[in-house]
Amino acid sequence: MRSDAMKKGLEKAPHRSLFKACGYTNEEIQRPMIGIVNSANEIIPGHVHLDKITESVKKGVLMAGGTPIEFGVIGICDGIAMNHDGMKYSLPSREVIADSIECECMGHPFDGLVFVPNCDKIIPGMLMAAARLNVPSIFISGGPMLAGVSNGVKTDLVKGMFEGVGKVKAGEMTMAELDKLEDVACPGCGSCAGMFTANSMNCITEALGMGLPGNGTIPAVYAERLRLAKYAGMEILEIVKKNIKPRDIMTMKAFENAITVDMAFGGSSNTALHLLAVASEAGINLDLKKFDDISKKTKYICSLSPGGPHFLEDLYFAGGIPALLKVLAENKRLHLDCKTVYGKKIGDVVKGAEVKNSDVVRPWKNPYRQEGGMAVLYGNIAKGGSIVKQSAVSPDMMKHIGSAKVFDSEQNTIKAILGGKIVKGDVIVVRYEGPRGGPGMQEMLSLTAAVAGMKIKDVALITDGRFSGGTKGASIGHICPEAADGGEIAVIKDGDIIEMDIPNRVLRVKLSDKELKDRLAKWVKPKPKVTSGYLARYAKMVTPSNQGAIFKKEICDL
């Protein structure tokens, strides 16, 4: 066993003594040692109950004859970190999570790992660690939050609260009404109820083959979630016994399956960042072109909040991710021979699946849209690509030409929006918010939700930063190269005409090559916003967004 390195033989007597100091018996020390990677804390709604999930995992490990050993991992709530300096730390925390797990699991060589994440950067950070360590692993998430209910209508954090801020500003809702909504929009534990980043990644983990069926959709508060955690705990012993490793599962075909499912349910645009990062750790050469190629041949058949009428609980009742896989498989859009950590192939999962609500998971011949959820746009201000969640863009905004209103920070932009300075037809340009320039590539849900809530018509937003999975509308992020790296977005001026053509994958400013070149020659690189601490180091080490915003590989070669 891998754990023999810290417990077996004469020279490990001192080590065994330390285990006994923790209360472990000889019998427990002799069994396979399973690390339980628990990201529970008391500030993320998706994580406040993970202690209970972890206890169930431990019971499963014990039932199967292993010894569970729990350790903790940090986590940031993107909703609470939104629209202040805390958001600068959200994406960078992904690297801390992966690195800290590596440290823990190399310092203590466990035989297998059960990862217990639920929200945003914690899931991809753990997937990165699993791929990097390549130790037998399985994932069990905390599950989605139930939708809130206000005046008999389902709602969630984005549709209710973030858009509510804009509605109050526009005079369409009173502060008293918003106060009442505040009490019911997020009714309890779990990852926020729409297909935002957290639920997108948990569902993708299931499609990738790293989690049991139901991992992405069983509601957080259901006892079925605890039972699934016990099964995950039991299953890890089988995975260890068979020596099934993450890189055996996370192949190029598995990533193609995961992207296909992502496109079919219109997941968060952040999934592009995260899957690129996980693939890099798994030694898979994935790029943005793959996302766009798959999106063009995958129909959008599952429309969840914020772009659609349904919530994660609706997908659960409709048959979950297996139901979605079934439709995709019937239309030859999946690699059915891909393995899963629990011993079955994706084709086996499909055989037992059933679509129980054809409005939530639509038939292939009756999709919500003919293409998948994401599009990758290129042009003279996005030579390295940019990303839009096209499934959340209204049909009349799939093509747009407008005048630029340029801002060098998210904070100045939200002031302008709430101050009534953005009008119909504008293209809001937010720059110096990329991985290096932010630093940290902030999410900008507050901006898009304010525009939606204030009902400012025909407005597009482009940025070298990124958007929450809760974003809807003509919001184009991940523009590469970013402003801080001297990308063309750095020299756009107020009044420049921006053309966005999603069907033809174009994003450009209507300026000649000579004019752009002349402006860039006069551009002066601004001083870093942060000069000390983790963010300063992150800004120096991070790669562009079209490479997943991971740390530069050449740093390891120094």
Domain harbouring 520, CATH code: 3.50.30.80
Q: What is the pLDDT of residue 363?
A: 98
At 213-250, the pLDDT tens digits run 999 999 999 999 999 999 999 999 999 999 999 999 99
Pair (250, 340) in one structural domain: yes
Pair (309, 449) in one structural domain: no
Share of the chain above pLDDT 70, in %: 99
Q: What is the pLDDT of residue 457?
A: 86
Dist CA 121 CA 75 (whole Å): 8
Evaluate whether residue 13 is within a structural domain: no
Q: Which helix (H) or strand (E) holds 535?
A: helix 533-541
Mean pLDDT, residues 56-84 taken together: 96
Domain end (from 284, 319, 351) = 351
Is the pLDDT reported for residue 530 higher than 70? yes
Mean pLDDT, residues 283-306 taken together: 97
Query: How sure is the predictor about 346, in pLDDT bands with cuts at 50, 70 and 90?
Result: very high
Pair (201, 313) in one structural domain: yes
Pair (214, 321) in one structural domain: yes
Pair (437, 331) in one structural domain: no
Please name the amino acid found at residue 84.
Answer: H
Dist CA 544 CA 181 (whole Å): 39
Q: What is the pLDDT of residue 477?
A: 96
Dist CA 459 CA 400 (whole Å): 9
Dist CA 346 CA 113 (whole Å): 22
Q: What is the pLDDT of residue 43?
A: 97
What secondary structure, in 3-state letters, does 59-120 show? HHHHHCCCEEEEEECCCCCHHHHCCCHHHHHHHHHHHHHHHHHHHHHHHCCCCEEEEECCCC
Evaluate whether residue 77 is within a structural domain: yes
List, in order, residues 6 or more apart from 339 with CB less than 8 Å away: 209, 244, 248, 249, 254, 345
Evaluate whether residue 176 is within a structural domain: no
Pair (390, 509) in one structural domain: yes
Could you give the 3-state DSSP secondary structure of residue 189? coil
Known catalytic residue at 468: yes
Q: Burial-class residue 530 by CB neighbours within 10 Å (0-12, 13-18, 19+).
A: middle
Mean pLDDT, residues 350-378 taken together: 97
Q: Is the dihedral of CA 348, 137, 129, 39 positive or negative?
A: positive
Pair (398, 347) in one structural domain: no
Angle between helices 270-281 and 288-296 (to 10 degrees): 120
Give phi and psi for 182, each to the nearest 5.
-55, -30
Could you give the 3-state DSSP secondary structure of residue 376? strand
Pair (300, 259) in one structural domain: yes
Query: How sure is the predictor about 555, in pLDDT bands with cuts at 50, 70 and 90?
Result: low
> For 56-60, 136-140, 266-270, which range has the lowest pLDDT when averaged over its residues?
266-270
Domain end (from 303, 335, 351) = 351
Q: What is the pLDDT of residue 450?
A: 84
Domain harbouring 97, CATH code: 3.40.50.2300
Kindly state the greatest CA–CA separation across the chain.
Answer: 76
3-class SS shares of the chain: helix, strand, coil, % to 5: 45, 15, 40
Nearest C-alpha neighbor of 90 from the set 197, 162, 220, 163: 197
**Alpha-helical runs (H) found in 243-381:** 246-249, 252-265, 270-281, 288-296, 312-317, 320-330, 346-351
**Which DSSP category does 474 fall into?**
E
> Edge-to-edge strand order for the sheet containing 112-116?
67-72, 33-38, 112-116, 137-139
Number of domains composing the chain: 2
Cβ 113 vs Cβ 136: under 8 Å:
yes
Evaluate whether residue 166 is within a structural domain: no
Catalytic entry in 468, 475, 512, 532: 468
Cβ 431 vs Cβ 444: under 8 Å:
no
Please name the amino acid found at residue 267.
Answer: G
Mean pLDDT, residues 243-260 taken together: 98
Dist CA 538 CA 92 (whole Å): 7
pTM of the model: 0.96
Beta-bridged to residue 376, according to DSSP, are 387
Instruction: List the domain range (segments joined by +) for residue 422.
Output: 375-547
Residue found by looking up tokens 């006994």 in the block: 20
Q: How far from chain centre, in Å, is Cα 183? A: 26
- State the Rg of the chain over Cα: 23
Dist CA 282 CA 209 (whole Å): 14
Nearest C-alpha neighbor of 73 from the set 55, 50, 107, 89: 50
At 372-427, the pLDDT tens digits run 999 999 999 999 999 999 999 999 999 999 999 999 999 999 999 989 999 999 99
Cβ 41 vs Cβ 75: under 8 Å:
yes
Evaluate whether residue 236 is within a structural domain: yes
Residue found by looking up tokens 């590989």 in the block: 553
At 101-127, the pLDDT tens digits run 999 999 999 999 999 999 999 999 999
Evaluate whether residue 172 is within a structural domain: no
What secondary structure, in 3-state letters, does 273-304 show? HHHHHHHHHCCCCCCHHHHHHHHHCCCECCCE
Mean pLDDT, residues 242-264 taken together: 98
Evaluate whether residue 157 is within a structural domain: no
Pair (200, 317) in one structural domain: yes
Q: What is the pLDDT of residue 468?
A: 77
Residue found by looking up tokens 């048959």 in the block: 319
What length does the chain have?
A: 558
Give phi and psi for 226, each to the nearest 5.
-65, -40
Is the pLDDT reported for residue 557 higher than 70? no
Cβ 476 vs Cβ 387: under 8 Å:
yes
Query: How sure is the predictor about 556, in pLDDT bands with cuts at 50, 70 and 90?
Result: low
**Which DSSP category does 386 fall into?**
E
Pair (233, 117) in one structural domain: yes
Cβ 272 vs Cβ 294: under 8 Å:
no
* Average pLDDT, rounded, for the chain: 96
Nearest C-alpha neighbor of 471 from the set 390, 385, 383: 390
Pair (346, 383) in one structural domain: no
Is the pLDDT reported for residue 558 higher than 80? no
**Which DSSP category does 391 fall into?**
G
Residue 91 structure tokens:
């994406």
Domain end (from 297, 317, 351) = 351
> For 150-159, 275-284, 354-363, which range has the lowest pLDDT when averaged over its residues?
150-159
Evaluate whether residue 474 is within a structural domain: yes
Pair (207, 75) in one structural domain: yes
Dist CA 146 CA 260 (whole Å): 26
